[in-house]
Structure 1
Amino acid sequence: MTEAAQDRGNDDDGDDELSPGWDAITAAMERLYPGQEPKHYGTVIKWMLGGPDPLDGVSVWKRMEPVPHWHYLSYGLSELYTKESEVAETSGYGFELTFRLACEPEDEEPPAWAINFLQNLARYVFKSGNVFDDGHWMTANGPIALERETLIRSMGFVFDPELPAIDTPHGRVSFIQVVGLTEDEERAGKRWDTRRLLDALQPAMPLWVTDLGRPSLLDDAEVRGRVEEGAAREGSSSGFLFTEVLGWETSKRLLRAPVTEITLGARQVDELVALLPLRLPFGRDFHFASRERALVFAHGETDSVSEEDGKLTLRLSDATVRELARTLRPVAGTYEVQGLGAVRWKVQKTTIRDPQGNVVGTVG
């Protein structure tokens, strides 16, 4: 939970020497918004004291150009007060989050859900140790704003276009902007490259401002054409896909070659068959993995199947990759790919759960 404040939340005194990291970040924002006092929302109980929110606070500025929007900034993913990490050149996790949210010119208060949204992203970083960087993406498994009708259900991450990285007394800090994406835009980014996708979208999304009410930008034929041409020309930079459902079993057959039956969840089938033709023909492997096992797709002049140390490797020719993409469907059932008789594919129905573990849908 946060509360509005015009200072540093719960700082006991205002001595600038106690928060050199904070002050360096604030100075960068003051250069962007000279003379504008931001709205600040400080954390009631800090994370280090057992509170639920990892960020010490979030500040928000309002601007009218190029479109009216709120500009949110996190405080707490970098080292604000003292240097504790052993990496001298980087402050904390090395970044703070920003988020630009479209608003009406007459709006006076920034939506509180966006503050909680940034806290949730920071909580993910604190708990997992995973960091965000320019060109990353993340799915939300639902609307990024709960209880809002919106197609924005995913996120891209990019260096904030107006905030270059800064050097603070505790190390370097980058400003990573969260950009709201629709589900088909997320898929397009994985089939090409998230950073290049964001560049292709920017003419229709100035400063990458997130607008909850917008349609998919891929509905625009010109934008969609740029994205499809880029993927066809350069292939996909996505070399990994995680799945909850993955297994295989190899059965020997009398007078015939063994057959390996691969089981996978229906939810990942569309992505798998879309990404393989954008990876293997470009000479790039693709890893399809669960927590326990890994299936590796690699390019080959001829098809082959091999298993070693719990990892199954399929080497596929271009023709087999195309046939696999035509054959496999996100519907429960068993599939056989022409020309790849050594492998049988079993697709299982899978469920989609929100961050709280509630079932929000099924595939297959």
Structure 2
Amino acid sequence: MSEQEVEAIGWDAIEDQMKGLYGQQDPKHYAAMLPYSLGGNDPLNGISAYAAEQPYPHWHFVTFGFTELFEKESEDPEYSGYGFELTFRLARSAGEQEPPAWAINLLQNMARYVFSSGNIFASGHHLDANGPICLGADTLLTALAFTDDPELPAVDTPNGRVEFLQMVGITADELEAMMSWNTNAFLESSQEVLPLYITDLARDSLLRLPVIQEAVRQGIERDGSQTGILYVDELDYEPGTSRLFSAAPAVLTIGARQAPTIAKLLRGRLLKGKPLTLNSKQRQVMLELKPVNGTVVNEDFVRIGLTEEVVLELEEKLQPKEGELRLSAAKELKVQIRKTYIKDQEGNVVETIG
């Protein structure tokens, strides 16, 4: 064993976990040509793809680079690096000898996001890709969910704990269901039809199955929603004015794209006694259930208390359509819905909502 191999304690720990599943299989490995630390474009040191056969043929990817692969560098003794490596299971066609390049690029893109923003993924998270997860593909999978890899338990290494977080391709309506309920609960309810959470670009939405629809309905009714913070494209708040002979209501402005999601979250959050915070680059607005309507405003944060009557009215009226909503149960507040413009990576508008 070389000196370099002895030092690669984090790398070896990941490979040992994979050997527990695949024995001595020699995976397809894709190393970064130029390390990120030296100005390269790929943050991950490498990505391995194993050919799995059960429950049906698929590629099982694992990353090397979110954690500390060699010497311990961070000051956190509990976790290695960011504390996780990503895995991804992708359906493999008959005779397919090499994993598709887009899957490698997708994993590197996830790393670019984490390394540039400092935002990490965790089990239960989700991410809207705003388009096919495989660019140019004819697929309904336009978002990603993250959950514990069902076959790879976390491992403690000399550099700290490493969790294996599986990325799962999901449809837009599945994303909405997860936001309205619970990501991991949704995936667990789908295990029989989505074994090991294998991503298949050709599959239809799981919500076409009555059994999944019913599981989501019951789950929302029982548990409410786990989504306490919703990031929105457009958000603003203008306080109302009160004069002797005229008064203007306060105005809450949101984008058309998120209007239906907010409507569903109002029931799953506020009516379960839990607040919902809307975040944009400019504003932060918290909605919460209160016995009487009321608003607290400061420079960076708006806190809006709504009665159950207002919540139910908003749930019914919020639609992805540009316009102004007047509320019979809260005449001091109106909601302005503005069009949302979806743009591609070059900044071109590809879809208008509202």
- TM normalised by structure 1 equals 0.93
SS at match of 2:190: helix
Instruction: Tell me how far 1:257 sits from its aligned partner.
Output: 5.5
Task: Indicate whether 1:147 and 2:162 are aligned.
Answer: no
Q: Report the residue type matching 1:56 in the other structure.
A: N
Within the candidate set 231, 234, 237, 1:245 is matched to: 234
Q: Does the 8 Å CA contact 2:236/2:282 hold for their aligned counterparts?
A: no
The superposition leaves residues 37-90 of structure 1 with CA deviations (integer Å, 9 ceiling, x where unpaired) of: 111111111101110000111111111111110000111111111111111221
CA distance in 1, matches of 2:262, 2:334: 16
Q: Does the 8 Å CA contact 1:305/1:342 hold for their aligned counterparts?
A: no
Task: Indicate whether 1:119 and 2:108 are aligned.
Answer: yes
Q: Does the 8 Å CA contact 1:64/1:105 hold for their aligned counterparts?
A: no
CA distance in 1, matches of 2:311, 2:351: 29
Partner of 1:108: 97
Instruction: Tell me how far 1:255 sits from its aligned partner.
Output: 4.4
Partner of 2:252: 262
CA distance in 2, matches of 1:19, 1:29: 16
Instruction: Tell me how far 1:104 sits from its aligned partner.
Output: 1.8
Aligned pairs, number:
352
CA distance in 1, matches of 2:196, 2:298: 48
Q: Does the 8 Å CA contact 2:78/2:160 hold for their aligned counterparts?
A: yes
Partner of 1:73: 62
Task: Indicate whether 1:300 and 2:290 are aligned.
Answer: yes
Partner of 2:189: 200
The superposition leaves residues 186-214 of structure 1 with CA deviations (integer Å, 9 ceiling, x where unpaired) of: 00000001111111122210000000000
SS at match of 2:138: coil
Within the candidate set 320, 332, 341, 1:342 is matched to: 332
Partner of 1:362: 352
Q: Report the residue type matching 2:349 in the other structure.
A: V
CA distance in 2, matches of 1:204, 1:66: 11
CA distance in 2, matches of 1:241, 1:339: 24
Q: Report the residue type matching 2:67 in the other structure.
A: S
Within the candidate set 310, 320, 330, 2:320 is matched to: 330
Instruction: Tell me how far 1:223 sits from its aligned partner.
Output: 1.1
Partner of 2:32: 43
Moved more, 36-45 or 240-249: 240-249
Partner of 1:179: 168
Q: In the superposition, relative to structure 1, how do residues 310 and 127 fare at CA in structure 2: closer, same or farther (>3 Å)? A: closer
SS at match of 1:58: strand
The superposition leaves residues 88-135 of structure 1 with CA deviations (integer Å, 9 ceiling, x where unpaired) of: 221111111100000123221111110010000011110011111111
Partner of 1:221: 210
SS at match of 1:135: coil
**For the aligned residues, what is the CA RMSD?**
1.5
Instruction: Tell me how far 1:256 sits from its aligned partner.
Output: 5.8
Q: Does the 8 Å CA contact 1:141/1:355 hold for their aligned counterparts?
A: no
SS at match of 1:203: coil
The runs of 5 or more residues in structure 1 that have no matched partner are 1-12
SS at match of 2:249: strand
Task: Indicate whether 1:54 and 2:43 are aligned.
Answer: yes
Q: Does the 8 Å CA contact 2:241/2:247 hold for their aligned counterparts?
A: no
Q: In the superposition, relative to structure 1, how do residues 27 and 310 fare at CA in structure 2: closer, same or farther (>3 Å)? A: closer
Q: Does the 8 Å CA contact 1:253/1:259 hold for their aligned counterparts?
A: no
SS at match of 2:217: helix
The superposition leaves residues 192-251 of structure 1 with CA deviations (integer Å, 9 ceiling, x where unpaired) of: 011111111222100000000000010001111111111111111111112232222222
Q: Report the residue type matching 2:37 in the other structure.
A: M
CA distance in 2, matches of 1:254, 1:348: 31
Instruction: Tell me how far 1:328 sits from its aligned partner.
Output: 2.5
Partner of 1:18: 7
Q: Report the residue type matching 2:336 in the other structure.
A: K
Instruction: Tell me how far 1:356 sits from its aligned partner.
Output: 4.2
Partner of 1:93: 82
SS at match of 2:204: coil
CA distance in 1, matches of 2:154, 2:99: 25
